[in-house]
Amino acid sequence: MHKVVALALGDVVAFDLSIPAQIFGHRTERERYEFTVCGERAGSVQSTTGFAVRATAGLDALTSADTVIVPGYHPIDDPSPRVARALRAAAERGARIASVCTGAFALAGAGLLDGRTATTHWQDAAELASRFPRVRVSPDVLYVDEGQLLTSAGVAAGIDLCLHLYRNDQGAAAAAEVAQRMVVALHRVGGQAQHLRRTLPETGTGGLAETCDWAVDHLDRPLTVYQLAQHAGYSPRTFARRFRAEIGMTPLRWLTAQRLLEARRLLESTDLSIDEVARLCGLGTAANLRLHLARDATTTPTAYRTAFRGVGRLG
């Protein structure tokens, strides 16, 4: 049983707290996760939205947590010495530690982000960088995965981060089921921009959405930006510019992310050889698949299949 503890600091952002609760504390996850909300002390914790939440435990819950998640809070003062010590102790014994939105200020205040790349809500990124110059603040991304330490941008980006954690624990297929249950995007890459000029059109309405659907249906082909642009009815230059403006990353980066999602699905659900998986997802060769999967999930195709075939890594 994997223990997830959300540390609610006052005044906690209720939406940020509800994200890990909905993903890891949902009734369907009780055979995989034990979810607890703790505070600096057990009891009532005020939220930024005018109501209080109940922390069932104090900081002692962090001593046995496998994953600690710190939701956003306000004002974004440094954590108390007790909280900072508890966070450092959890990190020192190897717990995975993540923050949602301004929860990054607690991690930075405890010294856990020194020398690391991190993110927070774009409105607070400049303050995080100013107050903690040893932290490399990336203000434009949805989330940053530094291995043991992870941080997300504001509010709904916490969904992307927690689904990323869940995907790493349980595999792509299980994460897809959670995303479907929550009626959210299956997968948004951490490097995607926090705020875009407009959202991607709904599936089937033409334009970029239709081209994205077409690309996902033809991942076994060596697709180029020219082919994608031709399908969408734009020149390659215009297509690349619009794609980045609307989706927040280059077409090729998005395409590689889709190929890796398909590779994960095939590794989990089929007995195809590594070479065949690489061909069907469009990465070409087993060597290329190994390279990309190592960058994306710090694992090999064989190890990934062993971990996620049939059951989740933690299930």
At residue 306 the predicted structure's pLDDT band, cuts being 50, 70 and 90, is: confident
Decide: 140 and 123 in contact? Cβ < 8 Å: no
With a cut of 70, say whether residue 201 has pLDDT above it: no
Write the pLDDT tens digit of every residue in 115-135.
Answer: 999 999 999 999 999 999 999
What integer is the mean pLDDT of 51-58? 97
Distance CA 7, CA 13 (A): 11
Q: pLDDT band at 313, cuts 50/70/90?
A: very low
Backbone phi, psi, residue 242, to 5°: -70, -40
Quickly state the pLDDT bin for 81 (edges 50, 70, 90): very high
Average pLDDT (79-104) is: 98
What would the DSSP string read from start to end of the chain? -EEEEEE-PSSB-HHHHHHHHHHHSSGGGTTTEEEEEE-SSSEEEEBTTS-EEEESB-GGGGGG-SEEEE--BSS-PPPPHHHHHHHHHHHHTT-EEEE-GGGHHHHHHTTTTTTSEE---TTTHHHHHHH-TTSEE-TTBSEEE-SSEEEE-STTHHHHHHHHHHHHHH-HHHHHHHHHHHT--S---TTSBSS-SSPPPPTTSSHHHHHHHHHHHTTTS---HHHHHHHHTS-HHHHHHHHHHHHSS-HHHHHHHHHHHHHHHHHHH----HHHHHHHTT--SHHHHHHHHHHHHSS-HHHHHHHHSSS-S--
As a whole number, the mean pLDDT across the chain is 89
Superfamily of domain 2-178: Class I glutamine amidotransferase (GATase) domain (3.40.50.880)
Residue 166: pLDDT band by 50, 70, 90 thresholds? very high
pLDDT for 207? 63
Identical fold for domains 2-178 and 253-308, yes or no, is no
What is the reported pLDDT for 244? 84
Instruction: Inform me whether the pLDDT recorded for 164 exceeds 70.
Output: yes
Domain range summary for the chain, segments of one domain joined by +: 2-178, 207-248, 253-308
Q: What is the mean pLDDT of residues 234-247?
A: 88
At residue 191, what are phi and psi to the nearest 5 degrees? -80, 0
State the pLDDT at residue 297: 75
List the single range of 65-74, 130-139, 211-220, 303-312 with lowest mean pLDDT: 303-312
pLDDT-derived band at 23, boundaries 50, 70, 90: very high
Higher per-residue pLDDT: 97 or 265:
97
Report residue 190's pLDDT band, with 50, 70 and 90 as the boundaries.
Answer: low
**pLDDT at 285 exceeding the cut of 60:** yes
CATH of domain 253-308: 1.10.10.60
Mean pLDDT on 201-218 = 71
Q: Which residue has the higher pLDDT, 189 or 218?
A: 218
pLDDT value for 28: 95
